[in-house]
Amino acid sequence: MQPIWKHTENFTGGRDGTPVDRIVIHYIVGTLAAADATFANPSSGVSAHYGIGEGALHQYVSEMNTAWHAGDFPMNQRSIGIEHSADVDRAPSTSTYDISVELCTRICRDYDLDPQTQIIGHSAVVATACPGTVNLQRIRDAVAARL
């Protein structure tokens, strides 16, 4: 699935020579439209590379650039951040998982990543409830099966 580009000013150009070696999985705590609105607001100071939900894939930041998603700038430089439409009472839909697995499979191929060790949850970076209701192991296993 080709992503729909959405504008954000919330990123740092380039990665300062840092290679991508992680995918960081997040949940939006809302819908894809909520992520679109947050990332479009320059004063929010946050972004991600991709957002998935409601049958759509949105891209906010080029993979060549650093999105502001993990709460840790060195991790931002080395990772691709993916937001999933979900909240504390709602897990991602099957279509959100399907799109995520397709995207993560492509990223793992492009950057030679091991899905079992290099797809991580936001909570592995900083103290947070994120990725919440996203089943990280479901994504890892499905990506591994495709690779």
Mean pLDDT of the region 96-114: 98
pLDDT value at position 142? 98
pLDDT classification of 110: cutoffs 50, 70, 90: very high
pLDDT tens digits for range 12-69: 999 999 999 999 999 999 999 999 999 999 999 999 999 999 999 999 999 999 999 9
pLDDT classification of 8: cutoffs 50, 70, 90: very high
Domains of the chain: 4-146 (3.40.80.10)
Closest C-alpha among 71, 100, 98 to residue 83: 100
Separation between Cα atoms, residue 122 and residue 82, nearest integer Å: 10
Mean pLDDT of the chain, nearest integer: 98
pLDDT > 90: percent of the chain: 99
Separation between Cα atoms, residue 117 and residue 65, nearest integer Å: 23
